Amino acid sequence: MSNIKYVSTRDKSISFTASQAILQGLSEDGGLFVPTEIPKFDKSLSDFAQMSYQETAYNVMKLFFTDYTEEELMKCINAAYDEKFDTKEIAPLHMADGAYYLELFHGKTIAFKDMALSILPHLMITAARKNNVKEDIVILTATSGDTGKAALAGFAGVEGTKIIVFYPKNGVSEIQERQMVTQTGDNTLVVGIHGNFDQAQTGVKMMFGDENLKKELADGGYRFSSANSINIGRLVPQIVYYVYSYATLLKRGAIKENEPINVTVPTGNFGNILAAFYAKNMGLPIAKLICASNENKVLYDFFESGKYDRNREFRLTSSPSMDILISSNLERLIYFIAGEDDSVNRTLMGALTKDGVYEITDSMKEKLKDFYGNYADEAETAEEIDHIYKESGYIIDPHTAVASKVYRKYKEESGDDKACVIASTASPYKFTRSVMKAIGKDDASKSDIELTDDLHAVSGVDLPSAITEIKSAPVIHDKECEVDKMQAVVKEFLGI
Ligand SMILES: *Cc1c(COP(=O)(O)O)cnc(C)c1O
């Protein structure tokens, strides 16, 4: 059995076991942890076609998390992928208009971050115990809406952890705020700050960097950790559903064993599509990796020109989780196509920090030929929702619609009609207003929450419990604070 280590993309001499890398999150030099090799499957694709989601998860994750025992991993997997999901399949595949929509929104918060955030807390607390960390883990998060709730839902009630989420009091949607303030679990705290998201994030970063606070925390029996999307403990669980979707197609007879498929992913931070790239390198027959952007099309321009340039206008769109100008996880791909040369990567990332721009060499660009990038603007996104609804009665959310539209562009340009899996990253119930507008059934007199009943009438899809619960659940968190009082709030909650 190989023993994979995790090294920093900016300094290969920094090396950890999987559990240590999960505990730490980000490398001290600012680099991201990457595995020293991408392991190959030790099961055939037809073996995978016989497996449950949980068994698939085990057979993928054990290859990366080599210092976890079978018992430890199975415990984490079973605690994560259970009745929290509203379907036994966990990640079902829905065919509509000639493509396969991989529904990654059947977890607690009806969006794809649940796929990784339901297991991360268990991986983390197991890692702590394995490495003789005696302190409880405190997760601090600043959120502009979605990630906060997914992290809360993942960590709520997990013994040995506490989670504190700060959000801009007047800067999130009605549904997002209700989702967070109704969060149960003694180990959770949700605080609305009198400021914007950037101030919340800056406040959290300052606490992470505060050595005095670190000492006080340690004296109280705590240590900070972070659940953000660059943690390798979030990336690896995302590989699983690509394997599972391929196996599902095989089981249904939609493809033959080893027949290549394409995958399309609506992309922001580049984590989800990077997981598909890892799956391909493990041996999953993926031909094209189609990277879909919204109007913040920094990745499209990168795949076109080889130049990554964040110096541009930031646009707010109907697919907010993709409104990103720095795709952090791209660094892992850059490191890979640089031939795992940490100094090349360090230079490029230095340029990104300093000037907001870097350019890769022709030989690096050559290694990106399995990627195809394109984007959908706001009008195209709405048209796509309407188109899929009219063709098949299926309703997709705006993020998924960006991917669906970009896939359509790819197919028309290339004539490539291989089976395609489209990552469907959010339930339409999470973006009811945009969706109802797109299909011409908006009612401006109704609130977003009221509109969910109209969507139900149109789609026939049951309201997910994430929606029914917030309609009646009591508000548990009503704490607010000024930006400069965030640290005091944390100390008070922890009793230190
Ligand atoms: C986070 C998110 C994305 C983007 O995924 P990345 O891994 O950041 O590229 C897309 N859609 C939804 C709904 C998301 O929450």
Nearest-angstrom CA–CA distance, 201 and 210: 14
DSSP annotation of 34 reads E
| CA 335, 341, 344, 349 torsion-angle sign | positive
pLDDT at residue 174, rounded to an integer: 80
Residue 150 CA: nearest ligand 1 atom is: 15
- Asked if residue 107 has its Cβ within 6 Å of ligand 1, the reply is no
- pLDDT, one tens digit per residue, over 187-219 is 999 999 999 888 898 899 889 889 999 999 999
Arithmetic mean of pLDDT, 61-83: 97
**pLDDT number for residue 173:** 80
| Mean pLDDT rounded to a whole number for the chain | 95
443-491 confidence digits (pLDDT tens): 999 998 899 999 999 999 999 999 998 888 999 999 999 999 999 999 9
From 388, 363, 131, 94, select the one nearest 249 (Cα to Cα).
94
432 vs 420: CA distance, rounded Å: 26
pLDDT tens string 369-387: 999 999 999 999 999 999 9
Residue 246 pLDDT exceeds 90: yes
The confidence score (pLDDT) of residue 144 equals: 80
Where in the chain are the domains?
93-111+234-472
Give me the amino acid identity at 61: M
Indicate if the pLDDT at residue 1 is higher than 80: no
Under DSSP, the state recorded for 2 is -
Nearest-CA residue for atom 14 of ligand 1: 321
The predicted structure's pLDDT at residue 89: 98
pLDDT of residue 10 exceeding 70, the answer is yes
DSSP character string of 388-404: HHHHHS----HHHHHHH
Q: Is the dihedral of CA 110, 112, 116, 117 positive or negative?
A: negative
Catalytic status, residue 409 = no
Dump pLDDT digits (tens) for 289-339.
999 999 999 999 999 999 999 999 989 899 988 998 889 999 999 999 999
Catalytic residue among 5, 62, 108, 113: 113
pLDDT of residue 147: 85
pLDDT tens profile 122-156: 999 999 999 999 999 999 999 887 788 999 999 99
Q: 383-433, pLDDT tens digit by residue?
A: 999 999 999 999 999 999 999 999 999 999 999 999 999 999 999 999 999
For ligand 1, mutation pick of 173, 272, 381 (most atoms within 8 Å of CB): 272
Helix (H, G, I), strand (E, B) or coil at 259: coil
User: How far, in Å, is the centroid of ligand 1 from the Cα of 249?
Assistant: 24
**Element spanning 274, H or E:** helix 271-282
How far is the centre of ligand 1, averaged over its atoms, from the C-alpha of 146 (Å)? 10
Identify the helix (H) or strand (E) that includes residue 225: strand 222-225
Strand partners, 192: 167, 480
Query: Looking at domain 93-111+234-472, which CATH architecture does it have?
Result: 3-Layer(aba) Sandwich (3.40)
DSSP state of 484: G
Average pLDDT over residues 235-252: 98
Residue 36: the pLDDT is 97
Burial code (b: 16+ CB inside 10 Å, e: under 16) for 424-450 equals bbbbbbbbbbbbbbbbeebeeeeebee
Beta carbons within 10 angstroms of residue 223's beta carbon: 16
Average pLDDT of the residues in 230-250: 97
Could you report the per-residue pLDDT of 20-69, keeping only the tens digit for each?
A: 999 999 898 989 999 999 999 999 999 999 999 999 999 999 999 999 99
Task: Give the pLDDT of residue 410.
Answer: 98
Query: Going along 98-160, which residue ranges are E strands?
Result: 99-103, 136-142
State which amino acid sits at residue 10: R
pTM: 0.95
269 lines ligand 1 (CB under 6 A): yes
Q: 318 CA distance to ligand 1 centroid (A)?
A: 13
Amino acid at 207: M
Question: Mapping DSSP to helix (H, G, I), strand (E, B) and coil, where does residue 292 land?
Answer: strand
Name the β-bridge partners of 333.
none
Contact 385, 393 (CB under 8 A): no
Instruction: Specify the DSSP class assigned to residue 371.
Output: E
**Residues 71-96, mean pLDDT to the nearest whole number:** 97
Strand, helix or coil at 71?
helix
